[in-house]
A and B are shown apart, each in its own frame.
Chain A
Amino acid sequence: MTITDEERDELRRHGILLTSLEELYNWGQSHSVWPLNFGLACCAIEMMAASMARFDIARFGSEVFRPSPRQADLLIVSGTVTKKMAPQVVRLWNQMPEPKYCIAMGACAISGGPFKQGYNVLKGIDRYIPVDVYIPGCPPRPEALLNGLIALQGKIGEQKLTGPDAPRHLRADTVCDYPVPEFGEHDLEPPKNPGVWQPPAPVRANKA
């Protein structure tokens, strides 16, 4: 017997609980997203505030900040990623077990932010690791982080367990190891991971 989502919601309103394995799986996963206890700059202060009583990230099941990447599900890149720090961030990401998710918190983690034109700041962590949710702000308020977490939960809730749209850890054809950049003579080598990030087409302002 197959029922649609609408029929299932209708039955729930009448006190009859029916679910699917997919829904149960995603529900369990999205309500226990454990972040890595890892901060980079001032965004980390907002992340700490979000975990305290006033904003209370525990309402969303994410209060368990793990001190080890082996136990974490979520990497919150909270702050400026310098080029000297970038290999360590990618290494931490590689050490996290699948399923894992990444939130780029703040302008610096998204694009380099106010330091974009400096010589020492990575122009966005998405050049090396896949980012699920971007939270703009400088720094974003704790509410914005919680909103990003809710967005991530929504994304996890829509995961398919099979097929080509399944997440990385449920597919056999994806590699979950991301190359760690090395310190080069002028820049990080390679400067980006083309499998993860390709620059969008340039804006041509006077093409009219």
Chain B
Amino acid sequence: MESPEQIRERILAGFPGAEVTVAANPSPSDQRSLVVGAANGREIARFLRDDEVLKLDYCSNVTGVDWPEKEIIEAVRVELPDPSGGPPKIVEKKVKRVQPGCLEAVYHLYSMARGIGPVILRMRTANRGDRVTLPSLTPIWRSCEFQEREVFDLFGIVFEGHPDLRRILMWDELKDHPMRKDYVAPDDFEWEPTPHDAVLARAARHFQDPTPAEAPRSGAKEGAP
């Protein structure tokens, strides 16, 4: 099978100016994936399906990833000019950089005709708040329908062009997307039969302490390892 870099070259030959990058994978499997810009996503997916060499006719799995906003501290070397005229000093400065968050849809593609795969296709939304739209790939691979609904349900990615985008696992009235990193589960841990620290602390919040003297002690218990 072609390497992701070769596939990228051929995509760029067909779609000049398209955003395609190969995402590295530092794990031992070294399974690199293609990160495709949302603007040309569907055309590139159609190209991958219809291409005579790859013929990726089977989408086995669609899943989502939540990338929250991340603060990255980088060490940057800065040259400080010496006021007395000597050689400039090189100082390492720590620079904080905020990497914006996004939601990501991941497609695992195989070829039944050629017996190859997987080719991993990823698309990213602009942010995690108001711009969470991606082109649906259900018109390309029909098997994406339910799985894109699941990604919509649990991550909140809106797939444009999906024939029937509804929640599939949770109920329609729910406002949350439970698989997002910032999801706050409903506080219904009133009681734990096998209590352990964090859950016990959540359960204890449901009870008022009978005496004020007990309050700091239960507070200290929450912080205890």
Contacts and interface: CB of A to CB of B under 8 A. Distances in A.
A contact patch SS = loop
Interface in A157-208: 183-187, 191-192, 199-207
Contacts, number: 59
Interface stretch (B67-75, B127-135, B184-192): B184-192
Q: Interface residues of B toward A: which range? A: 20 to 34
B223 to A, nearest CB: 12
A186 B175 CA distance: 6
B11 interface: no
Nearest to A182: B173
B158 to A, nearest CB: 18
A123 B206 CA distance: 15
B173 A206 contact: no
Interface in A66-111: 83-84, 111
A120 B169 contact: yes
A119 B189 CA distance: 11
A117 interface: yes
Interface string B155-197: 0000000000000011111111010000101101111010100
Contacts of A117: 185, 199
Given A123-B189, A191-B188, A184 B173 contact: yes
A186 B190 contact: no
B173 A205 contact: no
Contact of A185 (B175, B191, B199): B175
A184 B188 CA distance: 14
A205 B170 CA distance: 36
A204 B195 CA distance: 10
Contacts of A84: 169-171
Nearest to B207: A202
A202 B189 CA distance: 11
A199 B189 CA distance: 9
Given A186-B186, A191-B186, A191-B188, A203 B174 contact: no
4 residue pairs, one from A and one from B, having the closest CB atoms: A187-B186, A199-B190, A183-B171, A199-B191
Given A199-B190, A199-B191, 15 more contacts: A83-B171, A119-B178, A120-B170, A123-B189, A183-B171, A183-B173, A184-B174, A185-B173, A185-B174, A186-B174, A186-B175, A187-B188, A191-B186, A202-B204, A205-B221
